[in-house]
Every structure is written in structure tokens, then in C-alpha cells.
Structure 1
Amino acid sequence: MTHDDIDQLQRIIARELEVQPGADIRDEIQRRQAFLIDQLHTTGQHCLVLGISGGVDSTSAGLLAQRAVEAARERLPEARFIAMRLPYGEQQDDDDARQALDAIQPDECLTVNIKPASDAMLEALEQAGLEFRDQAHRDFVMGNIKARQRMIAQYAVAGAQGGLVIGTDQAAEAVMGFYTKHGDGACDLVPLAGLTKGQVRDMAAQLGAPDTLVNKVPTADLESLRPQLSDEEALGVSYAAIDRFLTGESVAPEDAERIIATWRRTAHKRAMPRTP
């Protein structure tokens, strides 16, 4: 792939994901908070629902959501934010999730252990005859089951309480398709859309998140055989390189080609279902 090819694709991808390299984070906080408020008013719903993992993305989205519902109460007194803790058994970085909740101070917090439901689903599939290549393959599929069980719980709460589910996707994850389709990729509102990972960190800091969460090494923590596997190890490229790619800066050719190949391979995650 030539330098010109990479340069052209950088522009296409950044435009597709609505990346804004020079955005003022304070302005973005206000704009995205207003977006959440507007969605409550226009949809007739009165609460926002979000799973809090203890990572910088969910912390940022949670801080935005709580601020939004507090401002929305001027016209919608019943507006509230419901944070959800969705551990699979015991979460290894549970202290980080508690720190996030302490910073967010949500109106309500529900804790739902997804382990029984996730285990039951995998057991039922295997009893039906589903086989895996090996234990690593089984563990990977189970990771996606966990992600989808978390979204089942969030939508159940939203359905019961008249709410909208918030997703935590941002541009660095979107370009890599680094989320589970119909799992953490399923949501009603995506307030962090278009932001690079660095911009999300800046937003978290501006909103008052503790430094330990702002600078935390990101991990999806879905695989039991590789607990706390960092996103960057799983992706094979650093978030710094992804951010530079998205903002049109020069990156190592091997990083650019990995990002572009992954963007192409995961296109189905960013698209509506195909039709004849």
C-alpha cells in the first residue's frame, strides 16, 4: 500500500467516523450533554442507562449522563441516570468501578451478576451439540456471550424504567470494530462518537474523573483465559497510533496497514443489516 493510498484512506475513515482533531473538549462536553438532554425530550423517555466498567470510556459517558439528567430536570423533573454494575462473578478491577461510581454519583445504581445467565447459555449451547476448536475458541465465544448478557440487562432496565441505553463507543474503538456486535455495540445513544481515545481521556479529566481512571490501561476483560488482557495487546496496535491515524498524522506503515485491514474486516459492525 502506497503512502498516497494510506493518506486517502485516513481522510475517508476520519470523515466516516466524524473525527474532529481540533475540537475544544469543553465545547464538546456541552454539546454532547445537550444531545443527551434533547434525546430525552424528543423520545419521551425519562432516564439514561449505562453499564459502568471502571474504564475511562464508561466513566466519561457516565459523568456526561449524570450532568445531563440533572440539567434536564428543569423541564423533566423525573429525569434520572441509572448506572449498572454488571460483573461476571467477581470483577478483578472492581475498585476501579467503585471509583468511577464515586466520581459520577449516579441517581441510582443496580448491580447484576451476569455469570449465572452467561454460564447457562454456554451450557445450553454445548448440550445442544455446539463444539469449539479448542478452549481458547470457547473462551472467546463466551466473552461475546458475556457482552451480550450485559446489554440484555441494560435493555431490561431501560424497558422497565422508560429509559435509553448509552453506549461507550468512540472513534478509536469504532475504526477497529473493537466491540461485540449486539453486545456493547448495541445501544440507543453514543455520546462519545467521533472522539479519539486521547480526547475521551481529556473529557474524563475535565469532568472530574480521578487520574487513576483517566490514565488506566484499557481492557475489555471478557476472556477468562486471559484476564485483564489490554486492548492494545488484543488489537496489536497502540491507541496512540490509532489516534494519530484518525487525526491525519503520520504513523508507521505497519500500524496504518493493520488499522486499515481491521477497519475493512469489521465494516459489518458499523453497518445496518444487509438486505437483498
Structure 2
Amino acid sequence: MSSNRQQEIAKALDVVPPFADEAALVAEVERRKAFIKNCLRTSGLKVLVLGISGGVDSTTAGRLAQLSVEELRSETGDAGYRFIAVRLPYNVQHDEQDAQVAMNFIRADEEETVNIADSVLGLAEQVSHLNHLADARRDFVTGNIKARIRMVAQFAIANANNGLVIGTDHAAEAVMGFFTKFGDGACDLAPLSGLVKNQVRSIARYLGAPESAVHKVPTADLEELRPGKPDEEAHGVSYVEIDAFLHGQQVSQHAYDVIVRTYDNTQHKRILPLVP
């Protein structure tokens, strides 16, 4: 029996119920592709842009994007529809090999690499308020700068190509506010929205992603002092518990308290700017 709060939060995040069977999973994949294609049609644009980290979320969203533009080309005869996959490393990414595995799987129409290190360091050097911070706090703030610079780069590429930027947010990240406001939380369309983490993994596996990508330990990888810091360590709860919570299943009191508290504390990330 789920609590009223669980039901309220799941409804607010438009959480997709557990897949009843393979047919339900396939139907959801088709619905997501139709959504992506409709976003392009209604916008009058033909190009999609997404940063690929090597994690299961961007791997899944990237492959869905590529399949969608391929279908649009086939349906319309218009070769202008295309997908640009972007690598956005900060110097050398510690798990670059995983990112390349993802890129090889996605097989995007175009691949681009933008190293954000100079931009991040250049900006950080000009912000004097960073100088007095303790090392760990400065590292955290700089991590958010990385996320925002990455989104600036993606929007620049999209603008240059009259395209749309894809985001990778899904319900299990949304409930925890686990994204940088106006960083990776900024996008034109979010085709994974409403899915829990295990559903994203299931879709990745269905699409044929390598098992190493499907089961890669999720990490935002923004902190230089802790490269590859697992999401679950930052959350204080596991994705298994977060998924269960969102699907109205019983979770431990600790997990329930952490998830509800974090959801309430990060509400500002999920709404438009406050106005009078």
C-alpha cells in the first residue's frame, strides 16, 4: 500500500507504471519516439542535439533520438532530419572508454567534441567569490559551472543548426532534484521523463545497448575531488529504493524520509522562476 505522499509525488512527476510485459515496454519505446518526432514536426526544425556522457540515460536518449530522425527521413524523404551527438569532456574524462562505447552504440549522424575545460576555468578565475571557499565547496560549485557550460555548448550547436536540445531527466532523478538548475536541467525536450531508472535500463537493453552501458554505475561526474562519485552515494538511497517509492511500493522508513525530504527541498528546481 503506497502512502498519499507517494501517490502525490508520482502523479506530479507523471511516473510511468511498471511495464506489465515486453509488449508494454515496446509500446513505451514507440510512444517516446513518436514524441521526439512530433517535437521536431511542431517546431518546424529538423536537428536534435544531445551531450553523451557514457551513462545509461544519455545512451538511451541518444539512441532514441537517432532512431527517430531515421524514421522521419524514411517517412518524409527529407534528408535534413539528423541527430548530433556531442562529447563534452572536462579535459580527459576518467571513463572516456565508456563514453566511446555509448557513441559506437548510438551511431549518430554526426559526432562533435567540445572540451569545456578552458571555458570552466576561465569563468571560475573571474568569479572572486570562489576564492574564499573550502576546497570541497569550491569543487561542488565548479561542478555546477561544468554542467551549465555543457548546456551552453549544446544550445550553441543547436542554435547553429536550427535544432533542439534533448535532456535526459527522468522520474528517478527528478524526484531527487538530481540535476543542475539551468544546467543539465535545461533542454527543449526530455524524452525519458516519467520513467524510473530501471525502466530506462530496460529500454536501453531492448534497444540493444551493451550490458556495460546498461549497468554502468550512475554518476554525474562533476566533482574533481571525487571523479565518478556514484549518484546513490549523493542521494543517500539506492535507485532500487527510489524506483520502488515512485511505483508505490513499500520502502524502508529511512528511504521514505530521505526521498520525501529531498523532493520537498528541491521543488524550486522543478518549477519556473518565482514571480510576484
Shorter chain as denominator, the TM-score bin is over 0.9
User: Which residue does the alignment assign to 2:16?
Assistant: 20
- Alpha-carbon separation, structure 2, partners of 1:176 and 1:41: 32
What is the match of residue 199 of structure 1?
Answer: 199
User: Does the 8 Å contact 2:86/2:114 carry over to 1?
Assistant: yes
Find the counterpart in structure 1 of residue 6 from structure 2: 10
Please state how far the C-alpha of 1:169 moved relative to its aligned partner: 0.3
Q: CA deviation at 1:103?
A: 0.5
| Matching of residues 72-151 of structure 1 within 5 Å | 72-73=72-73, 74-75=75-76, 76-126=78-128, 129-151=129-151
Is the alpha carbon distance of 1:99 and 1:267 closer, same or farther for their aligned partners in structure 2, counting shifts above 3 Å? same
Which residue is equivalent to 1:169? 169
Q: Which residue of 1 aligns with 2:221?
A: 221
Match of 1:154 in 2: 154
Deviation, 1:56, is: 0.1
Q: What letter is aligned with 1:166?
A: I
Paired-residue identity, %: 54
Aligned to 2:271: 271
Alignment match, 1:230: 230
- Distance in 1 (CA, whole Å) between partners of 2:195 and 2:67 is 19
- Rounded to whole Å, the distance in 2 between the matches of 1:14 and 1:106 is 33
Structure 1 residues 132, 258: CA separation in 2 closer, same or farther (over 3 Å shift)? farther
CA distance in 1, matches of 2:217, 2:144: 21
Residues 46-72 of structure 1, C-alpha deviation per residue, up to 9 Å, x if partnerless? Answer: 110000000000000001000000001
Question: Partners in 1 of 2:87 and 2:133 — Cα distance?
Answer: 32
**How far apart in 2 are the matches of 1:106 and 1:232?**
30
Per the normalisation by structure 2, the TM-score is: 0.96
Report the Cα distance in structure 2 between the residues aligned to 1:22 and 1:250, rounded to whole angstroms. 15
The whole-number CA distance in structure 1 between the counterparts of 2:207 and 2:63 is: 7
Q: TM-score, normalised by structure 1?
A: 0.96
Q: CA RMSD in A?
A: 1.1
1:71 counterpart = 2:71: yes
User: What is the distance in 2 between the residues matched to 1:22 and 1:120?
Assistant: 45
Shift of 1:130: 4.5
Question: What runs of 5+ residues in structure 2 fail to find an aligned partner?
Answer: none
For structure 1, the residue ranges without an aligned partner over 5 or more in a row are none
SS at match of 1:50: strand
What count of residue pairs does the alignment treat as equivalent? 270
Deviation track 1:204-232 (CA, whole Å, cap 9, x = no partner) reads 00111100010111011100011110000
The residue type paired with residue 9 of structure 2 is I
What secondary structure does 1:176 align onto?
A: coil
Separation in 2, partners of 1:160, 1:133: 37
Per mean C-alpha deviation after superposition, the further-off stretch among 117-126 and 74-83 is 74-83
1:132: how far off? 3.9
